[in-house]
A = this chain, B = another copy of it.
């Protein structure tokens, strides 16, 4: 998808559906998190690399628009990019596509999450380490692998 270099694949679990017969809207937040963690694993040594420096990344905001429902067993591609790194804050933007069996795709949701980095002990804001800035800069400028 234009503007995105990273994506991860999700298959909708039965436990994620609700009585409307579609994935519950809160499930999307879990998928965005899976994508974020996959992004960090590929580009920044994984979320554990951040934690090992005594830093936690809190989620401070969520914004999501749903265009279509996702159904049990649907294959989804969750696109993610890291943007707006400043001080102790950063954001992720996402696009969620359904991949049909014939290979065509359909945009079903778009959104973003906001994050703040804090000291794991004191929970006070901690500036993003330079290596994180560098890793994101590399990730967002590289051609897709």
Contact = CB atoms under 8 A, between A and B. Distances in A.
Interface in A83-126: 111, 114
Given A66-B59, A66-B61, A73-B48, A15 B20 contact: no
A4 interface: no
A26 B97 CA distance: 20
Interface string A35-66: 00100000000111000000010111111111
A13 interface: yes
A25 B66 contact: no
Copies assembled: 4
Contacts of A133: none
A21 interface: yes
Contact of A69 (B14, B58, B63, B111): B58
A15 B21 contact: no
A30 interface: yes
Contacts of A15: 18, 24, 26, 29-30, 33
A61 B73 CA distance: 23
Contacts of A64: 61-63
A17 B18 contact: yes
A34 interface: yes
Contacts of A29: 15, 25-26, 29
A123 to B, nearest CB: 8
A14 B19 contact: yes
Interface string A119-142: 000000000000000000000000
